[in-house]
Copies of this chain bind each other. A is one copy, B any other.
């Protein structure tokens, strides 16, 4: 996992799954707005930096929502399960994403690391106060919240109406696009989640996911060095597959 930051790009991020921002005045802190340094520092001083290993819980559904996290390194999955264990994964968070922002009094889903991960943690009260003093940042978060909803709806469409191939292709393209937006590596694209987690995201089974990866590979649409890294060889085709053509 390599990390470096160009001094020219604001909030530029390199490497695989890390995103310290070198411009905002604080390492491993991702509110990418040119804040006045005093205010920045005051919030930063109250941030607790955390480090998890792979497959550790960040929080669980139902717990009192005392903290807000900003992920700086690694990936986190949000999910909820039925009583009998069937699980739905809502999304895979990338460095730069906030975790637990949308919660009311209690977290509404489980959050678990998929890889080694780091985050800044803020007390909810501190964070709210900070937002009250920084309406520009707050506005950004409102945008983020509305994009979460848009993404959830995209996912509903995937789960309710797409075929297995369309789901897997959409999953790959979406992850790739989001990684690209954050300047993470997209070729090969890192897949720290297991087939089981991809299955729980796409509403399929492990076996179906595996078979479809196999089919995409033998078609020459993608290449898999190992199970955790995809190289997209024919993006146009993948796009068509994700929308029901072919």
Whether A244 touches B160, Cβ cut-off 8 Å, given contacts A102-B146, A149-B148, A153-B109, is: no
CB-CB < 8 A to A147: which residues of B? Answer: 104
Whether A104 touches B146, Cβ cut-off 8 Å, given contacts A88-B156, A90-B156, A153-B80, is: yes
Q: How large is the interface on A (under 10, 10 to 19, 20 to 34, 35 or more residues)?
A: 35 or more
Query: Which applies to chain A's interface (DSSP): helix, strand, loop or mixed?
Result: helix
Instruction: Please give the count of copies of this chain that the complex contains.
Output: 2
CB-CB < 8 A to A84: which residues of B? Answer: 244
Which of B108, B143, B157 is in CB contact (< 8 Å) with A88? B157
| Residues on A facing B (Cβ under 8 Å) | 80, 82-84, 86-88, 90, 102-104, 108-109, 142-143, 145-150, 152-153, 155-157, 159-162, 200, 202-203, 243-244
Top 7 A-B residue pairs of the complex, sorted by shortest distance between their CB atoms? A160-B203, A159-B159, A152-B152, A88-B157, A159-B160, A86-B161, A88-B160
